[in-house]
Structure 1
Amino acid sequence: MEKLFIQENQVILIALTGVILLLFMGVTLLLFFFTSRKKIVDKELEKKKLEVSHQKEIIQSIIITQEEERKRIAQDLHDDISSKLNVINLNANLLKDGDLSPEEYIVVNNDILEATDKTLESARKIAHNLLPPILEEFGFKDAVEELADSFNNSRKINISYNIKYNKKHLNPQNELHLFRINQELINNSVRHGKAKNSTINISHKDDKLIFSYTDNGIGFNSAKNENKKGLGMKNIESRVSLLNGRYSVGSEVGKGFNILIVI
């Protein structure tokens, strides 16, 4: 009887030990699960914070770009339009006073006509910078080709291009964004890259628009983030974001610059 009692106690002890071990394993698994889950959540939160921070940078870049464009337009209006209108106003008052000889009348009248012609030309240039007429009238492909040809004619840089663009693949607003990216890249090549040659390639693959640009300028170390933080590159990045596209940049000191944009 005593032996049976001892055996029962051993069975109970083994059962209790098993239960305790199962509870321990369960608690351990729960702790592991919650710890892993917390790490995943923390990583997701960190990722979201980085995305929000990146979006803020892009929005800030868009605002800065818009303000720079407004300043440039205001400066153009002040320097080109206002000064010429002042000349017209002064000469018009001379005519109004009427105290002019026939010869003076002809000179003043000619000055007004000349200043008017120059004012109209300045207004056309400002309007062209805001929205190139060729982009609206003939489309994106012709606008980019005219842009490249205008730089080629100026001999500041030699641009070769191969543009295969399905008309109206992008809506007019997005075509303007991509056109501005072209402008920014060429200006960067001329002003900062000191490039003599560059290429523009535009093609389609499936439903994607592939845009690539290269130059043979002085280049920079693209591994350093500070080299990507200039207003020009932030402007390009913000416009690519508005196009729902992605881009990659490659450059080395002395080995030029290249960018690939997929929309």
Structure 2
Amino acid sequence: MDAKEKELYLAIIVAIVLFSIIIIYFVTSLILYQRRFIALQKERINAEINTLENERRRVASELHDGIGPLISSVKLYINSLDVGEDDTEIVHKAGTYIDDIMQNIRQISNNLMPNTLVRKGLDAAIKEFVDKADNQNGIKISYSCEIPELSINKDMEINVFRIVQEIINNTIKHSGASKLIIKLTQQEKMLLLQTSDNGKGFDFESMKNKDVSKEGGLGLKNLESRVDVLGGQLFHQSSPNKGVAFIFEIPINHSTNN
């Protein structure tokens, strides 16, 4: 091999090495950018969910601790009025209306942030919600928890409860099912939430990509957002007239504050 051939061979090798370095740098930068983008997306979704839950807590607290006592005071004041016989029926009706308002306030406050979830934990809160929703639209809801001692942090409890709440509400409104089965189990450090119904089913991807102002799309995106924040995975199976099944795999040691 003469000197010119050696120089050409060396130039080709240098060019290949430089090109390889450029490609590696480009791919590495792309991967790092993608990871950073995903991390920022998770942080944004986490912040939105935390803001939403904090606002729910605030409104629930104001309804329960602020407006509730005021309305109770109004009822006491009305009942203390010295009225004639002709006005007794009016006072009685006013008291009945106030009782209805108080009941609605308690219901709204509980929907925003269930007291049972705060005081007794996830399992008790799901049982309570299932009891209230059971047999609505003719749907029999069956719930079981196969975890002897369910111990997870409060952020996870809230997010898992909202997932169950979303599935129950969507099933009642849209599925046309006659039964819904919900089961909580645990495999090592993984919390498994499984749900299935015998309704009309749907195409998951087309429903998820619907305009959020329409039925269904926003609910499925909410499910994915909650699971993503929890560091878990969502699996689904559905086809027309064969119902919908979900499996949520959520790591128990994951923190939404990370």
The reply to whether TM is greater than 0.5 is yes
- Check whether the contact 2:136–2:172 (CA below 8 A) recurs between aligned residues: no
1:45, distance to aligned residue in structure 2 (A) = 5.6
1:41 alignment partner AA = T
Specify the structure having the higher radius of gyration (Cα). Answer: 1
Correspondent of 2:229 among 242, 245, 249: 242
1:117, distance to aligned residue in structure 2 (A) = 1.9
**Range with greater deviation from structure 2 (116-125 or 165-174):** 165-174
Q: Comparing both structures, which one devotes a greater share of its residues to helix?
A: 1
Give the TM-score normalised by the residue count of structure 2: 0.73
Instruction: Provide the secondary structure at the position in 1 that maps to 2:192.
Output: strand
Q: What is the alpha-carbon distance in structure 2 between the residues aligned to residue 139 and residue 64 of structure 1?
A: 21
Please, what is the CA RMSD of the aligned residues? Answer: 3.7
Give the TM-score normalised by the residue count of structure 1: 0.71
Instruction: Provide the secondary structure at the position in 1 that maps to 2:209.
Output: helix
How many residue pairs align between the two structures?
235
Correspondent of 1:172 among 154, 158, 177: 154
Q: Which residue of 1 aligns with 2:91?
A: 109
Structure-2 change in CA distance of 1:227 and 1:152 (3 Å): same
After TM superposition, the structure 1 = structure 2 runs for residues 55-134 of structure 1, keeping only pairs within 5 Å, are 55=42, 58=45, 62=49, 92=78, 95=81, 101=84, 103-134=85-116
1:226 alignment partner AA = N
Say yes or no: does 1:189 pair with 2:176: no
Instruction: Provide the secondary structure at the position in 2 that maps to 1:169.
Output: coil
Identity %: 28
- Check whether the contact 2:46–2:229 (CA below 8 A) recurs between aligned residues: no
1:251 alignment partner AA = S
Correspondent of 2:201 among 214, 219, 228: 219
Q: What is the alpha-carbon distance in structure 2 between the residues aligned to residue 166 and residue 236 of structure 1?
A: 26
Structure-2 change in CA distance of 1:63 and 1:231 (3 Å): farther
Q: Which residue of 1 aligns with 2:119?
A: 137
Give CA deviations for 1:131-162 in whole Å, capped at 9, x if unaligned.
22322333221221232232224463112223
Flag structure 2 segments of 5+ consecutive residues without an equivalent. 251-258
Give CA deviations for 1:39-88 in whole Å, capped at 9, x if unaligned.
4135426634762685488469749977x979x98xxx8xxx89xx6xx6
Q: What is the alpha-carbon distance in structure 2 between the residues aligned to residue 202 and residue 221 of structure 1?
A: 25
Flag structure 1 segments of 5+ consecutive residues without an equivalent. 1-13
